[in-house]
């Protein structure tokens, strides 16, 4: 997609330009004309002559030159026609503000719009959107009135109305944007297209978005993993609404799109390395810290504070967010002691006391920045009567310029600390009004840095699978209209993909029983094979718990017993089976489809606890080894697998292999819509795992 005409047009036409103030068609022309955009602007309206000092044209056709971008705010049904006209005038980009498409059920009109754009090679934003802003060329092609500061954050919103509030919040924070996008119904251009563009955009360092529904998880994972491992990683922060069923149905009612379960989005974000903001404030806190600090390790945090209580509060937060209170080196402590008062604490949190002036903050920050055990610094300030709010801000600004470590600040309070806060914001220092959110943001930042440093892995792949065998089973089933595969058939499919199964084979003589039993090893069971016997156990046709040693004897005994009970039955032999070990932990391994996003592998604690504890995790196929390990280790009951209370640790490698084989199976056969291995028995280390039961459903 060519976004040049969209973001850097030399000539823009606005179709639906209006003379009536406070209408969309009036606002857009006003914002284009009055906020510094230097290209040519052509308002189009058959009934007007002039608007904001620009000549108004009766139609696109009347414009004297070719245009690059057309902005459209007229009734929906006329939009596709106007796109045709715009194409004839050379337009390569369109922003459709008009509502009245998918969101009210007009799916066909929306499809038509997308097609017309595609045929004419036009990049389409919208319909049903607020427009876009490019701060680099002061182009506000939207009906949001506030032109944001220039900055390094690209913002994308699926909700138009939210945008005006976002611009307002950002202005107060001094947070600038590179591009600001309302993308509406996403008939053509969606978030992923824009992310791809922003990954290359030199003006953008951070991508933030509000999303209600996303599509194609595997592609999102691929693109963002690439960005996170590129030379210039750009964090993607997503505020995703519709976490709850009620929220999802509210989305459906106002945008006409289905969002799907939240577990799928959590899986997607974890796999892709997307930072999830849980509320609007977090979106800003995360954007701020990432936009205002270079990407550096931030695990070990040192706190500098002039108040004990807030120091304790952030200590709690640091530990709760999986960060670490840095252990200051002895050298650092000794240095701090040379200038801090005796009552001060030289341990972390470093309490510089309520009477600390700017110089004491400066000396302390200097020493802490040099501490070898400190990755990041959090500075707290409460406004005591002697506190030098502005001078302290200046000191932080000065030291941050050369600091190789992230610094986050919370000047606590409002009016009293405002002069300092203003300085910090102007100089791009991350400051939060309350101290706890600073930690939360630091944790997101640290987590992101970890992602960029994690090794990239290929999806798990096994070359010993028999893809043809499964293809054949499915092909035959489809011929007969069969979609569901009960245990016996499902086990065949599992076998073909190399899953560990309890072995079974039919013995036709005592000698063969021994041979099979020796091959299988361990504890065995045996069932009579006869077309004439329905209830095997009633006639003594089931024998449990024997080994190879007495297999022949058990075989003979069983056949004799059955024969005595049912003399006329034709006895064909005995089905010999391995017995499941008793010390296995039951887990569940399955498949779950998310409409739009893709196919997920589900892994969790099995048995009664599936329902009671709902301790399951998801990841989209295909999975890497890291994904598989995350499925296991982020269970609440993970300790059960790592060896709890004297129980042997489980064979994690065997679980990873099962997860990987399932990932490969569902990737090879997208027609699989349901698949449950329940239970999968997880055995002790080096003992493997065992599929005890499975069930498969195809489309």
Is the peptide bond prior to 349 cis by the omega test (within 30 degrees of 0)? yes
Q: Does 470 bind a copy of itself (CB under 8 A)?
A: no
Both tokens of 432, joined, read 């939060």
> What DSSP character marks residue 695?
E
> What DSSP character marks residue 579?
P
Q: Does 475 bind a copy of itself (CB under 8 A)?
A: no
Q: How far apart are CA 22 and CA 352, in angstroms?
A: 54
Kindly tell me which of 358 and 502 has the beta carbon lying closer to a copy of itself.
Answer: 358
Binding to a copy of itself by CB under 8 A, coded x per residue (else -) over 256-295, reads -----------------------xxx--------------
Of the ranges 45-53, 313-321, 591-599, 624-632, which one interacts with a copy of itself (CB under 8 A)? 313-321
Instruction: Give burial (CB, 10 Å; 0-12/13-18/19+) of 580.
Output: middle
Q: Are 532 and 505 in contact (CB under 8 A)?
A: no
Q: How far apart are CA 401 and CA 176, in angstroms?
A: 19
Q: Does 343 bind a copy of itself (CB under 8 A)?
A: yes
Of the ranges 5-13, 62-70, 137-145, 514-522, which one interacts with a copy of itself (CB under 8 A)? 137-145
Q: Does 560 bind a copy of itself (CB under 8 A)?
A: no
Of the ranges 251-259, 451-459, 508-516, 650-658, which one interacts with a copy of itself (CB under 8 A)? 251-259
The least CB distance from residue 472 to a copy of itself, in Å, is 36
Which residues in 647-676 contact a copy of itself (CB under 8 A)? 647
Q: Which of 633, 691, 635 is nearest to 665 (CA)?
A: 691
**DSSP string for 63-96:** -SS--SEEEE-S-GGGHHHHHHHHHHTT--EEEE
The least CB distance from residue 361 to a copy of itself, in Å, is 14
Kindly tell me which of 79 and 417 has the beta carbon lying closer to a copy of itself.
Answer: 417
Kindly tell me which of 198 and 284 has the beta carbon lying closer to a copy of itself.
Answer: 284
Q: Does 300 bind a copy of itself (CB under 8 A)?
A: no
Both tokens of 89, joined, read 């005038």
Q: Does 184 bind a copy of itself (CB under 8 A)?
A: no
Instruction: Give burial (CB, 10 Å; 0-12/13-18/19+) of 274.
Output: buried
> What DSSP character marks residue 559?
H
Q: Are 563 and 546 in contact (CB under 8 A)?
A: no
Q: Does 238 bind a copy of itself (CB under 8 A)?
A: no
Binding to a copy of itself by CB under 8 A, coded x per residue (else -) over 625-644, reads -----------xx-xx---x
Q: What share of the chain is helix, strand, coil (3-state, %, to 5)?
A: 40, 20, 35
The least CB distance from residue 314 to a copy of itself, in Å, is 9
**DSSP string for 378-404:** EEEE---TT--HHHHHHHHHHHHHH-S
Helix (H) or strand (E) holding 236: strand 236-240
Q: Does 161 bind a copy of itself (CB under 8 A)?
A: yes
Q: How far apart are CA 698 and CA 673, in angstroms?
A: 5
CA neighbours closer than 13 Å in the CB half-sphere of residue 609: 15
Both tokens of 410, joined, read 């919370």
| Total residues in contact with a copy of itself, by rule CB under 8 A | 88
The least CB distance from residue 224 to a copy of itself, in Å, is 22
Kindly tell me which of 13 and 380 has the beta carbon lying closer to a copy of itself.
Answer: 380
Which residues in 409-428 contact a copy of itself (CB under 8 A)? 412-417
Angle at 293 between CA 288 and CA 299, to 5 degrees: 100
The least CB distance from residue 322 to a copy of itself, in Å, is 11
Of the ranges 153-161, 331-339, 359-367, 671-679, which one interacts with a copy of itself (CB under 8 A)? 153-161
Kindly tell me which of 359 and 511 has the beta carbon lying closer to a copy of itself.
Answer: 359
Q: Which of 334, 386, 454, 471 binds a copy of itself (CB under 8 A)?
A: 386
Q: Which of 572, 613, 670, 686 binds a copy of itself (CB under 8 A)?
A: 613
Binding to a copy of itself by CB under 8 A, coded x per residue (else -) over 508-547, reads ----------------------------------------
Q: Which of 110, 191, 201, 212 binds a copy of itself (CB under 8 A)?
A: 212
């Amino acid at each position: 997609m060519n976004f040049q005409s969209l973001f850097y047009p030399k000539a823009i036409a606005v179709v639906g330009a209006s003379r009536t103030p406070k209408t969309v068609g009036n606002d857009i022309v006003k914002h284009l004309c009055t906020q510094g955009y230097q290209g040519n602007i052509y308002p189009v309206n058959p009934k007007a002559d002039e608007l904001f000092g620009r000549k108004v044209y009766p139609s696109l056709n009347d414009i004297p030159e070719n245009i690059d971008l057309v902005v459209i705010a007229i009734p929906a049904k006329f939009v596709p026609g106007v796109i045709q006209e715009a194409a004839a005038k050379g337009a390569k980009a369109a922003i459709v503000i008009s509502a009245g498409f998918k969101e009210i059920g007009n799916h066909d009109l929306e499809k038509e719009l997308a097609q017309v754009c595609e045929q004419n090679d036009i990049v389409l934003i919208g319909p049903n959107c607020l427009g876009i802003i490019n701060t680099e060329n002061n182009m506000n092609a939207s009906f949001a009135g506030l032109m944001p500061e220039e900055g390094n954050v690209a913002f994308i919103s699926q909700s138009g109305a939210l945008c005006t509030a976002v611009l307002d919040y950002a202005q107060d924070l001094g947070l600038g944007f590179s591009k600001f996008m309302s993308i509406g119904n996403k008939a053509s251009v969606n978030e992923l297209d824009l992310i791809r563009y922003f990954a290359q955009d030199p003006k953008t360092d951070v991508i933030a978005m509000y999303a209600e529904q996303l599509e194609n998880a595997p592609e999102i994972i691929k693109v963002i993993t690439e960005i996170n491992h590129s030379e210039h990683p750009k964090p993607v922060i997503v505020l995703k609404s519709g976490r709850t069923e009620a929220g999802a149905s509210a989305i459906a009612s106002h945008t006409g799109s289905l969002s799907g379960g939240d577990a799928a989005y959590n899986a997607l974000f974890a796999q892709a390395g997307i930072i999830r903001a849980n509320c609007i404030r977090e979106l800003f806190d995360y954007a701020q810290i990432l936009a205002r600090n270079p990407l550096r390790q931030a695990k070990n945090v040192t706190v500098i504070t002039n108040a004990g209580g807030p120091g304790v509060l952030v200590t709690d937060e640091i530990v709760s967010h999986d960060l670490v209170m840095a252990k200051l080196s002895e050298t650092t402590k000794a240095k701090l002691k040379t200038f801090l008062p005796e009552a001060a604490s030289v341990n972390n949190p470093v309490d510089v006391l309520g009477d600390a002036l700017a110089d004491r903050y400066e000396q302390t920050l200097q020493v802490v920045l040099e501490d070898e055990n400190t990755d990041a610094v959090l500075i707290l300030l409460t406004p005591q009567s002697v506190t030098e709010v502005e001078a302290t801000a200046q000191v932080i600004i000065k030291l941050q310029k050369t600091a190789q470590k992230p610094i986050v600040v919370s000047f606590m309070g409002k009016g009293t600390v405002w002069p300092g806060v203003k300085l910090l914001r102007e100089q791009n220092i991350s400051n939060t009004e309350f101290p706890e959110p600073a930690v939360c943001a630091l944790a997101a930042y640290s987590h992101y840095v970890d992602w960029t440093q994690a090794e990239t892995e290929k999806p798990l792949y096994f070359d010993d699978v028999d893809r043809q065998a499964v293809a054949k089973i499915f092909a035959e089933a489809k011929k007969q209209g069969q979609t569901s595969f009960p245990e016996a058939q499902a086990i065949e499919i599992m076998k073909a993909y190399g899953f560990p199964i309890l072995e079974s084979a039919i013995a036709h003589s005592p000698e063969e029983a021994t041979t099979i039993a020796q091959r299988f090893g361990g504890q065995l069971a045996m069932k009579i094979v006869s077309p004439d016997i329905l209830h095997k156990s009633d006639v003594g046709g089931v024998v449990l718990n024997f080994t190879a040693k007495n297999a022949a004897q058990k075989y003979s005994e069983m056949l004799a017993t059955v024969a005595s009970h049912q003399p006329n039955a034709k006895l064909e032999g005995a089905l010999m089976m391995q017995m499941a070990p008793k010390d296995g932990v039951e887990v569940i391994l399955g498949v779950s489809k998310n409409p739009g996003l893709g196919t997920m592998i589900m892994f969790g604690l099995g048995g009664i606890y599936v329902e009671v504890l709902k301790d399951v995790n998801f990841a989209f196929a295909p999975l890497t080894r890291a994904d598989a390990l995350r499925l296991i280790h982020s269970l609440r009951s993970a300790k059960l697998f790592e060896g709890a209370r004297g129980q042997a640790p489980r064979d994690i490698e065997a679980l990873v292999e099962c997860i990987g084989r399932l990932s490969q199976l569902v990737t090879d056969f997208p027609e699989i819509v349901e698949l449950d291995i329940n239970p999968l028995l997880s055995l002790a280390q080096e003992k493997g795992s065992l599929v005890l039961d499975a069930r498969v459903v195809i489309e």
